[in-house]
Structure 1
């Protein structure tokens, strides 16, 4: 069976159309929309800061552990948790029976020595009279030298006994004073104004001052808090007193507390691990080195509390109304210190990519543009990955 020329032409045209359709579909699905797309962000005018970030914790400006210097049972506690106390206010009492007995014994011992002194003073008068009589008798050849020497020795011994008793009296006075002091230690008073932040020892417990001074309560001045920020050794050389600082707390991350750096400690806390000759103890897994940067914050409403975590930012420098781009837009840095930045330019409705040499100032997540760009120009962050990002736009390059 032979096909006519007309049918052959129809088949060829149909095959050509199918090929064209297949090619068009291939271009559409595999190459269509593959024009380069860029993520861009405009150059904006905003305030920018160069900061050192640090983690910190809050402490009371003043905090003291109120301990006992006397041993015995805690008879009564005069304060409750959270109570405001004044300096000198009675906060606790220890059973004072032992101390009272010790004071009485000391006073009785003092009285006894004083009585002995009075007796010796009476003996001294007798010894002086006897010595003078023997002295006169010896001068008139009416007495013996032996009697004279005996009277002289008795007088000197009595004087020595009186000196010894006077010394014993002073010693007994010290014993009485110490006993009175120990009795006073049974009444524990506040060493400063503050708030009771912890009660360590309960009523009825026995404390022993012969060991480490037992803590009864902990007082803290909370009207002003101190923030202790841990600054790494890489950043500490840029941190100085009086630099502005702010921090946030986990419970209120949108509110900034502002202050000024008071001091930067000269040595890390780990200096306590040093040996007496100034050498560090060996540590196979040496921990990173951090230095404490301290600053104070008013706390009139007591929102800030002891041991809260603080996210601290120490402001090294600040520029108002700076041209700014994300640091991720910066390309290679040249020998002259300038960075390459790709810019999307538009002319007559056509987009093109240009490379600019840009001088940068502060560079801390966001970069301050000193020259090379203008406000509103669009810098390229990269090619579109299909994932939307905040503050970016996608532009298709024809």
Structure 2
């Protein structure tokens, strides 16, 4: 058996020192590289932060609409004819019963005169027939006495009785004719009265669509001559709320809106109606939510376009975090996505707080949220904590 030379003890010692030394050097190099990467990354990243604060969190529904008077009365005409005079114009203050326009009354006056004459004829006919009735009655009574003495025949008595009954029936016919002629006269007088276009309410004329000399026809549809708003110091906004948001709108909710004429001045109101009638335009279903608003300075005009905001829930003094913090993920970590939930299934969500110069993940239970902030119900967060909403790479100097 061939005998192999042994390895010198000094060599073993040298190799035994070299192997651990190599392993230790690699570990140190790796740790140094990791530390250098971390330190260099932290040194090259600038975190954008916002603070946890106390303040309002408001959830609202946004909708567009139109400013309208609460009550608008359409003043039309029941009869046709030529406008003879006009007494009301735009912005005219009117009282109930005020004459606003006049239709030429002459054709209707002629009808009234004719019906009045017909009534007079019927009344004169009644007087004449009453005289005939009196004679027929006297003749009948006389023949009743004479027939007993055989001075007149039974046939003469029957003829007198027939004449008396006919005269009596004629009186009833005349009275009915008088009632008919009176009704015709009343109708003609009503039509004559309709030639006066009067305001049915107290208010302000907001629209006029008639001029002197214009012919209006009321044969098939009543034409609208004036629009009268009863009270312009109280207005309403008819908003078009989408079907996805209408379920959250309730009576009594506070609302605010702006109009283009006063973009920096919000007007405050209250939801007073949520109408059940849907409006479908290009397959988009909306519902009318009515917002009542006072208008003492008459700044709001009928027809203005309003952008309304209905407050459906509100926290006046909530501990809140900016929504941008819930969507932030550090660049050095795997991208998990916004609004990461806690792994324990509690429903808490994650954000990152800048503590001692490094981001630390904190989970918290969220409450009400709006477009800007989310309410913090429970979590290791306090007012003044700086939450990270973004980061920027610092530019290295050459």
Aligning the two structures, in what range does the TM-score lie when normalised by the shorter sequence?
0.7 to 0.9
Q: What is the CA–CA distance in structure 1 between the aligned matches of 2:189 and 2:298, rounded to whole Å?
A: 40
Q: What is the Cα deviation at residue 395 of structure 1? A: 12
Give the secondary-structure state (helix, strand or coil) at the position aligned to 2:232. strand
Q: Match for 1:121 among 127, 130, 134?
A: 130
For the 8 Å contact 1:39–1:395, the answer to whether it is kept is no
Q: TM-score, normalised on structure 2?
A: 0.80
Q: What is the CA–CA distance in structure 2 between the aligned matches of 1:314 and 1:337, rounded to whole Å?
A: 28
For residues 334-380 of structure 1, the C-alpha deviation after alignment (integer angstroms, 9 at most, x for no partner) is 4322111122212xxxx211111111111111211223221121222
Q: Match for 1:341 among 351, 356, 360?
A: 351
Unaligned runs of 5+ in 2: 1-39, 327-338
Give the secondary-structure state (helix, strand or coil) at the position aligned to 1:240. coil
For the 8 Å contact 2:44–2:395, the answer to whether it is kept is no
For the 8 Å contact 2:237–2:290, the answer to whether it is kept is yes
For the 8 Å contact 1:37–1:395, the answer to whether it is kept is no
Q: What is the Cα deviation at residue 33 of structure 1? A: 9.7
Give the secondary-structure state (helix, strand or coil) at the position aligned to 1:289. strand
- Structure 1 partner of 2:14: none
Q: What is the Cα deviation at residue 53 of structure 1? A: 1.5
Q: Match for 1:371 among 374, 378, 381?
A: 378
- Structure 1 partner of 2:265: 255
For the 8 Å contact 1:40–1:395, the answer to whether it is kept is no
Q: Number of aligned pairs?
A: 340
- Structure 2 partner of 1:16: none
Q: What is the CA–CA distance in structure 2 between the aligned matches of 1:176 and 1:269, rounded to whole Å?
A: 47
Rg comparison, structure with higher value = 2
Q: What is the CA–CA distance in structure 2 between the aligned matches of 1:41 and 1:211, rounded to whole Å?
A: 68
Unaligned runs of 5+ in 1: 1-30, 271-284, 387-393
Q: Match for 1:360 among 366, 374, 378?
A: 366
RMSD of aligned C-alpha atoms? 2.2
Pairs within 5 Å for 1:211-250:
211-220=220-229, 221-250=231-260
Structure 1 117/80 Cα, relative in aligned 2: closer, same or farther at 3 Å?
Answer: same
Q: What is the CA–CA distance in structure 2 between the aligned matches of 1:83 and 1:381, rounded to whole Å?
A: 58
For the 8 Å contact 1:38–1:395, the answer to whether it is kept is no
Q: Match for 2:275 among 265, 285, 293?
A: 265
- Structure 1 partner of 2:183: 174
Structure 1 299/205 Cα, relative in aligned 2: closer, same or farther at 3 Å?
Answer: same
- Structure 1 partner of 2:219: 210
